[in-house]
A and B are shown apart, each in its own frame.
Chain A
Amino acid sequence: MAINAPTTSDAARLAAARREPSRAAQVWRAFARRKVAMAALGVLLLIVLACLLAPWIAPYGPTDGAVTDRLKEVGSPGHPLGTDEQGRDILSRILYGGRLSLLSGVLPVVLAGLIGGGLGVAAGYFGGWTNTIIMRALDIVFSFPAILLAIGISAALGPGIGNIIISATVVFIPPIARIAESATKEVRKEEFIEAAKTSGAGAGLIVRSHVLRNIFGKLFVFATSQIGVCLMVASGLSFLGLGVSPPTPEWGFMLNNLKQLIFVNPIVTIVPGLFIFLTSLSLNLVSDALSDALEIKR
């Protein structure tokens, strides 16, 4: 066959010139093109960093309050976001509270991603009875309304941040498992899976190197979109008094506390809600842009 064979030095130069940017770089470039998503990412990073650095940047301690400073408006000198009914600085409590809130938003999704992802991949890859047993069992869990189930589990386990994380994890396992299962089923039909089987690869290796690689994008995007939802579920549980106990700051719990002041100081009341909203909106925008950026040419 006539292939014009370049000399070695030519080949080396070509290789250097045509070297493809890495996959991560390509994804980042596609992501960065979306201005709104970039802004959302900026907001998200700002919130996360600020919460992490709370002990150093918060103007007051989360539980320090002076009765003389009660019920300050938003924009009061020294209290940019006002104070609550005990005179505690809202900004400081938001920053400290964000650590728990973000943790209870992210951790259940990560745990559910691992457990649900594993179950879904097993169900999708092996099919047959394995699929039936796993998926029907998850359907039972799925048939309860998410928030009701979370409340039920939390109520049974008792209040506490650990129990919130457990109940939220249980709630998020079925939807993540479903996504993983359907994505796995789709990949399993591809000829490269058959090719891998003919080369003698076992199920473990095929799942690790082919299936996970191909469903990761879908699973990751879905999971990130669920963090916002999870944040709200966890905040909701705290709001209902199933989460942290006073005086620990947490966004949902703060919202619950401040609701008594809605006629006294309406703007201050919605501040924690605003942070929950901002975080979950940014997360959704970021995951939406990520899903586009992660799309690969076949």
Chain B
Amino acid sequence: MNAILEVKALGKTFPVRNLFGRTKGGVSAVDNVSFSLGAQGTLGIVGESGCGKSTLARLLMRLIEPDAGEVNYRNRNILELSGRPLKEVRRQIQMVFQNPYSSLDPHMSVLDNVAFSLWANGVSKGEARKAAYEYLDAVGLSRTHADRMPGSLSGGQRQRVAIARALILKPEIVIADEAVSALDKSVQAQVLNLFQDLKKEFALSLLFISHDLHVVEYMSDEVMVMYLGRVVEKGPTERIFSRPAHPYTQALLASAPSLDVEQAGGAPALAGELPSPLHPPSGCRFRTRCPLATERCAQTVPALTDVGPGHQAACLLLEESRTA
């Protein structure tokens, strides 16, 4: 499987200014994140809220400018592009946003919301609307929905509209940023299946961002776990879920609600709050909540080490057991 999107050491620190506009520190939102997305594969990104998932998505889309790193789309670093070539590449990477109540313009009809993407790329109004009908059809919305305002649609229907809008530019990569989090469970399932169907139909590569482990497990071929802006573990979905290597992943999996009573208990659940990204812990950022943390964890930043085929985790304990 060749990679369609390769991200290398991507980083972003938001400056924090004091009253007089002088920089007094920074929030390290995304730090040294690398991954690759295989063509027509699905990479799931999990983590608690505030761990930098959404920032990562916006960095890839260049809605926020990264400070460091590379984003290579088909071997071209899109961070170096500007003007027309950037516009061309942007079309290939589209995004479905988190909040279906904010991602559609309430003053535009559903049809125009979808058609807008094409207008922005110089397609005539009539043609864009014709295409928009087709894509609304593809996401399971009938013509009767097209003339309505988004205000009269349900959350699930709105998210379908948002998906149609992303697809109408015929992208190769779709980034779904918490795309089902705002929906009811039953509607979630429908939208997830829709994603699966569309992925096959349009040969998409998916970057699926969610805090919901079940959703990610269901959707992804590969999973990347993030904690406070850093990647703590990544690997094939079955391996991550059956043999999690990093203490954080283990704790996350243990804390996920499960119907299986037998499996409940075991690994310790996560205690405490996510530390402030303004002053992240030194060394391993997870050490303040890690049951296995030692003194060394405060001094050394753990690197990603191989723990299995295609499976990497960033933990000093794992590094030790490798070298020992």
Is B308 positioned at the interface, with any CB of A under 8 Å from its CB? Answer: no
The interface stretch among B32-40, B94-102, B205-213 is B94-102
Selected contact of A194 from candidates B97, B117, B169, B193, CB within 8 Å: B97
Give the Cβ gap from A206 to chain B, nearest Cβ, in Å: 8
From A11, A197, A199, give the contact of B143 (CB < 8 A). A11
The chain A residue with its CB closest to the CB of B99 is A191
A35 at the interface (CB under 8 A from B): no
A192 to chain B, nearest CB (A): 5
Number of interface residues of A (CB under 8 A): 30
Q: Please judge, given known A-B contacts A195-B165, A297-B151, A297-B152, whether A1 and B190 are in contact too, CB under 8 Å.
A: yes
**Is there contact, CB below 8 Å, between A198 and B94?**
yes
Is A190 touching B149 in the complex (CB atoms < 8 A)?
A: no
Stretch at the interface among B104-112, B241-249, B251-259: B104-112
Interface centre among A194, A200, A209 (most CB of B within 10 A): A200
A156 to B276 alpha-carbon distance, docked (Å): 58
Cβ-neighbour of B142 out of A11, A23, A201, A214 (below 8 A):
A11
B238 interface contact, C-beta 8 A: no
Number of interface residues of B (CB under 8 A): 44
Contact of B147 among A3, A6, A20, A194 (CB under 8 A): A20
Q: In the assembled complex, how far is the CB of residue B4 from the closest CB belonging to chain A, in whole angstroms?
A: 17
B150 at the interface (CB under 8 A from A): yes
CB-based contact A196/B116 at 8 Å: yes
Pairwise interchain contact B143-A198, C-beta atoms closer than 8 A:
no
| Bound-state Cα–Cα, A30 to B190, Å | 36
User: SS class of chain A's interface: helix, strand, loop or mixed?
Assistant: helix
Question: Which A183-213 residues have C-beta < 8 A from chain B?
Answer: 190-192, 194-202, 205, 209-210, 213
Give the complex CA separation of A214 and B101 in angstroms.
14
Task: Verify A18–B144 contact, CB threshold 8 A.
Answer: yes
Q: What CA separation (Å) do A221 and B180 show in the bound complex?
A: 37
Contacting B98 at CB < 8 Å: which of A15, A191, A199?
A191
CB distance from B145 to the nearest CB of A (A): 10
A-B contact pairs, 15 of them (CB 8 A): A6-B142, A15-B144, A19-B147, A20-B148, A192-B104, A195-B162, A196-B116, A198-B90, A199-B121, A201-B120, A205-B119, A209-B108, A296-B106, A296-B107, A298-B101
